[in-house]
Amino acid sequence: MREDEVRKGTARDGKRSSSAASASEGQESSDAGQVATARKADDRRGSGARRTSGEPLRASWRPAPSGERDRGQRNRGRLARFARTYGWRVYALPILTVITVLVAVDTASTGDDTPGGQQAATPASGEQSPGPQATEKRGAPVNLNIPTAKLPAGQDFTPAGKGSWHVVPGDGKKVGKGGEEFTYTVEVEDGLDPTSFGGEATFARMVDETLADKRSWIGGGQVSLRRVGPDHPDPSFRVSLTSLETSKRPDVCGFSIPYPTSCWNSSSKRVVINLGRWVRGAKAFASDMITYRQYAINHEVGHALGNNHVGCGNDGDFAPVMMQQTFGVANNYVAKLNTVDPSNRDAVPRDGKTCKPNAWPVLDSRPAN
C-alpha cells in the first residue's frame, strides 16, 4: 500500500518537474528571441545610421558588450519615457543652449573700445558738419551711447527759437597785430528767453572778451579781429547764439551725430553757438561753465579762420582747442562718433589717447592751473 502511494507521489512530482522544465525552456526561448531581435535591430542600424522618429537624440551608435547592452536598453527605455513625458522640449533644449552660447559670444565681441596742429577748413565745420555740405552714406549701425557726449542736466532754456537772428548792437576796436583782419557780429536768435543766458549784452561781452584775450587766436600773431554792428554790410563771420532745435536743421548744423552741438556754417558764414550747450556745458568740462563757453567760442571761430578738427596729440596733455571737446577729450570716444559724419570720419585716430580740457588756441601764455 505504501509502495503504491510512493510510486504515485513520484509520478506526480515528475509531471510537475516536467511542466516546470517546459515553462523554463519556453521562457529561455522567448528571452533568446528578444535578444536576437534586439541584436538584429542594432545590426541593421550599424555605426552612423540614422535614428528612427521614435528614438531620443543621441550622439552616435557604438557596439557594447552584452552587460553594457542590457544597461543601454534600460537607459534607452528611460530616455523614451522622458521624451514621451516632455515632448518637443527634449529637442528644443540643446538648440536653445547653442543659441545662448552664440549670443553670448556675439555680445562679447561687440563691446565698446575705451581707452596741435591746424589744417585747412572744410566747407562746413564744427563739432559736426551741417548736412548740405556733405552727402552722408549710411553705413553699419554704430553704438553712439557715448556718456561724455550727452548734454548734462541743468537749467532750462528755450528749446526752439524762430529760426532767424538779429544783431546785438555794438562795435569795437581792432584787437591783435596780425596782418589779416576779420570782422564779426554778435547775434541772437529771435524768440529766445534771455533769462536762461543772462541777456544779449552778457553774451556779447563774453564773445568780445574771449576773442580779445592773448590766449585766443590773436595771440598767434597772424590775425586781428574787430567787432562790427548791424550796419556793416558784410562781416567775415557772425557769432550767433542759436536754439537747440534750430541748430539741428540741415541748413544750420545738421544732426548726423545725435548730440547737441555748435558748428561753423560756411554757407551763411555763421558761427552757431548752441544755446543748450551755452547754458549746460559739456561733461568733459564738469561744472566749469566759463571755460567751456570760452572753448565753444574759440573752437567755432577757429573754423571761421580756416582750422579743422584734430585729436588729442599726446596722452595727458591739454587738448588742442580744435579737438571736439564738447563730445569728449578721449580720441577713441570722438573717433567713434565721427564714423557717421563723412567730413570728420578720419579727423581723429582711435589710438587710446586722452587729453585734459582746454579752451585756448595759444597754450604757452596760459596761466598754470
Q: Whole-angstrom Cα distance, residue 131 to residue 119?
A: 21
Compute the chain's Rg from CA coordinates. Answer: 42
At 70-103, the pLDDT tens digits run: 555 555 556 556 556 555 555 555 555 555 544 4
Using an 8 Å Cβ cutoff, are 262 and 247 in contact?
yes
- Written as one string, the DSSP assignment of 311-339 is ---STTSBPPTTS-TTT-SBHHHHHHHHT
At 343 the pLDDT is 83
Q: Which residue has the higher pLDDT, 146 or 4?
A: 146
Q: Whole-angstrom Cα distance, residue 97 to residue 207?
A: 62
Give me the residue spans of the domains in the chain: 2-86, 124-344
Q: Whole-angstrom Cα distance, residue 348 to residue 257?
A: 15
At 123 the pLDDT is 36
Average pLDDT over residues 338-358: 91
At 341 the pLDDT is 84
Using an 8 Å Cβ cutoff, are 182 and 305 in contact?
yes
At 342 the pLDDT is 82
At 226-268, the pLDDT tens digits run: 999 999 999 999 999 999 999 999 999 999 889 999 999 999 9
Q: Determine the length of the chain.
A: 369
Strand 165-167 to 237-242 pairing: unpaired
Pairs from 313-317 (Cβ < 8 Å, separation ≥ 24):
313/116, 313/353, 313/355, 314/353, 314/355, 315/352, 315/353, 315/354, 315/355, 316/354, 316/355, 316/356, 317/355, 317/356
The C-alpha cell of 170 is what? 555794438
Mean pLDDT, rounded, of the chain: 75
At 30 the pLDDT is 42
At 75 the pLDDT is 52
- For the cut 50, the answer to whether the pLDDT of residue 161 exceeds it is yes
Q: Whole-angstrom Cα distance, residue 139 to residue 93?
A: 37
Write down the H helix ranges in the chain.
Answer: 2-45, 66-86, 89-109, 200-212, 244-248, 275-280, 289-304, 331-338
Percent of the residues in the chain that have a pLDDT greater than 90, as a whole number = 55
Q: Coil, helix or strand for 240?
A: strand
pLDDT band for 150, please (50, 70, 90 cuts).
Answer: very high
At 113-147, the pLDDT tens digits run: 333 333 333 334 566 544 434 333 334 455 555 78
- For the cut 70, the answer to whether the pLDDT of residue 164 exceeds it is yes
- For the cut 70, the answer to whether the pLDDT of residue 269 exceeds it is yes
At 26 the pLDDT is 42
